[in-house]
Amino acid sequence: MEAFVQGVSVHGVVQARSSFACSTQQRSAVFAAKSASASSRCVANGVTGLRATSELDQLKEMTVIVADTGDIDSIKKYKPTDATTNPSLIYAASQMPQYKSIVDSAVQYGVENSPNGASVSEVVELVRDKLSALFGAEISKIVPGYVSIEVDARLSFDYEASVAKAYRILKLAEESGLPRERVLIKLATTWEGCRVAECLQKDGINCNMTLLFSIAQAVAAADAGAKLISPFVGRILDWYKKARGVDSIPASEDPGVLSVRQIHEYYKCFGYDTIVMGASFRSKDEVLELAGCDRLTIAPKLLQELKEGTSTVVRKLGPPETCQAEKIEMDEPTYRWMMNEDPMATEKLAEGIRNFAKDTDLLDGQLAILVKEKLGAAVV
């Protein structure tokens, strides 16, 4: 276990079932049967192996594909099952002229539904939350699965404010036509964020734990019972390239890729139900090295590369033949100490929160201009 903890960071663990549902051999048999079934389907179509019209089509045979974008047109193009958004993506989408009507609707809602005497910043906050809900509702008309909506990153260390924000997002989403059962509330995987997830999950509200870079965060997410985790790949790679003083690392040796493989194996060993969704990819090769992961959230640029690629995609993740990992017990002092001892996770978590907060500030600035235009000089 010591090697497991000291090695590449592992992302997210969800509360284990009390007993293992089946043996490794049984799971391997099921995996083999599914692989055989997929093979026969390809042979029946006159194709050997898992060769399909594109790498993206092949990948969809073994992994649920999620669009990592707020651009509705891109989601329509690539037909993913789920979609994720974050402050940076919402800010980028809000700049596109084709979504002006959505932004205008959010501004109108915020102005009309803010209490008398509300400040511009208070109106803007409501507009921003409504905008996220409206984008989520539009996306839900295209994808059949989950839509992730992120809580304000500036609340990442504020338990009470994060809980309140999550419930407001859900209310606005439902008003916009997006049922709560299709929403994943995205939370930064701080200790406080995990406590928020624990509260929400007990109320039947599913959570997506993001900005996840370490085993400490993984176990904390596990104890919270989060529905889904988003272990980051590319940002881990960025850190290690800088630390090692190299320009590139082969995808098969990529620390971000290896970390997702470890957590996937950890889950399968202990029979966890949580969804592992690899995120933050820098290249198509990183994506293909995680073929077989429960879910992968992929940006439009890489989705296009996969759509154009025709090489045979090989499954890289499946049930492990042997299970050697040990259960890690986690409490707050342990979490904070393990994060202290992991410079990559500490730096990347803080950096991620800062960057999301910066883009939220930029979005608020843009919305403030629109709100002031709508209100004139009535609100100060």
Domain boundaries, the chain: 63-375
CA–centroid distance for 45 within its chain: 34
- 10-residue mean pLDDT profile of the chain (380 residues): values are 34 34 43 42 39 85 93 91 89 91 96 94 97 96 96 98 98 97 98 98 97 89 91 97 98 96 84 89 98 96 96 92 84 97 97 97 96 72
| Nearest in space to 130 (alpha carbons), one of 154, 153, 102 | 102
Amino acid at 139: I
Does the annotation count 186 as an active-site position? Answer: yes
Which one of 130, 165, 186, 268 is the catalytic residue?
Answer: 186
Rg (CA), the chain: 21
Q: What is the pLDDT of residue 84?
A: 87
Q: What is the pLDDT of residue 45?
A: 37
Segment 6-38, tens digit of pLDDT? 333 333 333 333 333 344 444 444 444 444 444
Instruction: Report how far apart the first and last C-alpha atoms of the chain are (Å, whole number).
Output: 58
At residue 288's C-alpha, the angle toward residues 248 and 223, to 5°, is: 95
- Rounded CA-CA distance 82/367 in Å is 27
Kindly write down the DSSP assignment for every residue of 139-164, as one continuous string. HHTT-SS-EEEE--GGGTT-HHHHHH
Phi and psi of 230, rounded to 5°?
-120, 80
- Rounded CA-CA distance 62/64 in Å is 7
Q: What is the pLDDT of residue 379?
A: 44
Q: Are 166 and 151 in contact (CB under 8 A)?
A: yes
Q: What is the pLDDT of residue 86?
A: 86
Residues 6+ apart with CB under 8 A from 169: 129, 132, 133, 149, 151, 183, 185
Q: What is the pLDDT of residue 132?
A: 96
Q: What is the pLDDT of residue 268?
A: 84
| Nearest in space to 97 (alpha carbons), one of 72, 69, 64 | 72
3-state secondary structure of 228: strand
Q: Are 218 and 212 in contact (CB under 8 A)?
A: yes
Q: What is the pLDDT of residue 321?
A: 80
3-state secondary structure of 184: strand
The domain defined by 63-375 carries CATH number 2.30.29.30: no
